Amino acid sequence: MRAFAILIVPLILVSGCIGGTDYYGNTLEPNSLNEFELVDENNEQFNLTNIDAEVIMVGFIHTSCGEECDGLTASMRQVYELLSTQEQERVSLLSITTDPWHDDSSRLYHYMLNNSVEWPHLTVNNINSELEMMESVWASFGTAVNISANETQSMARCSIHLMDYTVNHTIHVILVDEDRTTRIQWLYSDWDSEDVAADIRRLSSE
């Protein structure tokens, strides 16, 4: 079997969750985001300066993830639709891939079409030279990414994206405030769209 490296990004934010707040989601120890430069589904450069919203809802998916990532994407759209027009103007949505080896801009573009969403989906142009930056982005949001080799050719053929590795990651959304500080985590396993919308309203009113 061909060896494949395993990449693990620590859940630095999740371990820092604190209690006793007015938020429904997991309140995080505030972490200021570092500037990063990724590319979107149109292969155009994208960074946080492209967004001037008071709150950013950042989701982590990959195009071959299947039901859970598609469900998270649909849930993000549902939350946005629960907000009033005025509230929607104060929030931006963003998705970042956890499989940049496979997810180029074209794949993210077609993923967006298939899931009927329009917000930016981000990846890197060159995984060989930009993997370290991508790992830094995942870590800054507390997203754990685990890459494991499929053990047999049979498993590889059964893989959703017909590759010889499997991606497992934290399936969650992070809410970021106006100061570009991570504030709230919503795991997909705990998702409640009404409560996520309520957290966005509280965060945007601070």
Low-confidence winner among 62-66, 113-117, 171-175 (lowest mean pLDDT): 62-66
Could you give the number of structural domains in the chain? 1
Q: What is the mean pLDDT of residues 144-159?
A: 63
pLDDT the model gives residue 66? 87
**Which CATH number belongs to the domain containing residue 135 in this structure?**
3.40.30.10
Please tell me the pTM assigned to this model: 0.85
Q: What is the mean pLDDT of residues 163-169?
A: 82
Q: What is the mean pLDDT of residues 108-121?
A: 97
Residue 79 belongs to some domain of the structure: yes
Is residue 202 over pLDDT 90? yes
DSSP per-residue letters across the chain: -----------TTGGG-B-SSS-SSEEEEEEEPPP--EE-TTS-EE-GGG---SEEEEEEE-TT--HHHHHHHHHHHHHHHHS-HHHHTTEEEEEEES-TTT--HHHHHHHHHHHT--S-EEB-S-HHHHHHHHHHHHHHTT--EEEEE-SSHHHHHHSTTSSSEEEEE--EEEEE-TTSEEEEEEEGGG--HHHHHHHHHHHHT-
Residue 50 belongs to some domain of the structure: yes
Residue 8 belongs to some domain of the structure: no
Comparison of pLDDT for 64 and 197, the residue scoring more: 197
Instruction: List the domain range (segments joined by +) for residue 93.
Output: 14-204
Dump pLDDT digits (tens) for 16-45: 444 446 899 999 999 999 888 999 999 999
